[in-house]
A = this chain, B = another copy of it.
Amino acid sequence: MTRRRLLLAGFGNVGRRLVEILAAQEAHPGLAALDVSIVAVTTGRHGSWADPAGLAPEVLLERHRAQGGFPDSFGTLEAVRTVDFDVLVELSPLSIAGRGEPAVSHVREALARGRHVVSANKGPVAWACRELRDLAREKGVRFLHEATVMDGAPIFNLGRHCLRGNTILALDGVLNSTSNVVLGEMERGASLAEAVAKAQAMGIAEADPGADLDGWDAAVKLSALANVLMDADLPPERIARRGLGDLDRTALEAARDRGCRIKMVCEASRVGDQVQAAVSMKELPLSHPFARVDGADSVLRLHTDLLGRLLVAEDGPDLSTTAYGVIADLLELDT
């Protein structure tokens, strides 16, 4: 294994946890073989920093803690074009309005320069999967994105390594944590506003939970899954989408009285040569494997021609789980 020089584009919650894990790398025996050095960090509004000799994780964390940001002002695209790095770690926030930009451009530039990309931002794999995959292939580098769906649970690695010989006929799952926490709180009697406030206090919902509640976040994840696991070419806007809308406690109580729960369900299936997909609110009997997915947990079910139906679920994920998705990809680069 050769040392890989990382360019971190983003230093939010996931980025910081990633760097915290790197700072405590020796506490994890399984990470002995991970040999990385951070040569640059860029952020949207908190400055940037580069050092060809490597920025120590502890120094980055302390500087960010003490001064809220970094001393320089170059942008991500400039860094991707000029810094000498081996792997772009794309950690910038998703922009749905921007159809994945500017992350798509960051990734494209890095691949075009012949550098690997590990993305925790799901925009590039949702809106530009085929283009970026083909570009990576042409340049002989990897475009990996394990942290984009179900935090760091091995979904894309599973598809790559553990389903050989299968065709994925369909997939479905519960993939949006915020809507799931909100539904659970509303089942316990909270109003939508109270439930959202609770999810925010738990650190799960963002300040603007709109994209979670209206199904956009789920649609972007579903697009990523369909594009990669089912070789679809399905941007999020072509996914039928219904979010929580005006769903209220009355509807949840009525479902409960029928022995059911309402969940935001993502579904994709092959129809002829096409893949069709939808995000919708579904009433599920308690015996359904998705009915008991609570809180921030998530589940994905793969329907295959040989293996049958396989479920992968997270039980109590946290920020470390997502940061691990990035580490899994960094380790995957050596395979």
Chain A: residues with CB nearer than 8 A to chain B?
21, 28-31, 34, 152-154, 157-158, 160-167, 286-287, 289, 291-292, 294, 301, 305-318, 320-321, 324, 327-328, 331-332, 335
Contact between A308 and B314 (Cβ–Cβ < 8 Å)?
A: yes
List of B residues within 8 angstroms of A328 by Cβ? 162, 164-165, 307
- For residue A159, which residue of chain B has the nearest CB? B162
CA distance A163 to B31 in the complex (A): 11
Q: Say yes or no: B30 contacts A166, CB within 8 Å.
A: yes
**In the complex the two chains form, is B315's CB within 8 Å of A311's CB?**
yes
| Number of copies of this kind of chain in the complex | 2
Name A164's contact: one of B21, B29, B306, B332 (CB within 8 Å). Answer: B332
* Known pairs A306-B21, A316-B309; A28 contacts B165 (CB<8 A): yes
12 cross-chain CB contacts under 8 A: A21-B306, A34-B165, A153-B310, A157-B161, A161-B161, A165-B327, A165-B331, A301-B315, A306-B327, A308-B320, A311-B312, A312-B312
B313 touches A318 (CB 8 A): no
| B308 and A29 form a contact (CB under 8 A) | no
The answer to whether B308 touches A164 (Cβ under 8 A) is no
Considering the chains assembled together, what is the distance between the CA atoms of A167 and B311 in angstroms? 22
Q: How far is the CA of A157 from the CA of B321 in the complex (A)?
A: 20
> Looking across the interface, which residue of chain B has its beta carbon closest to that of A328?
B164
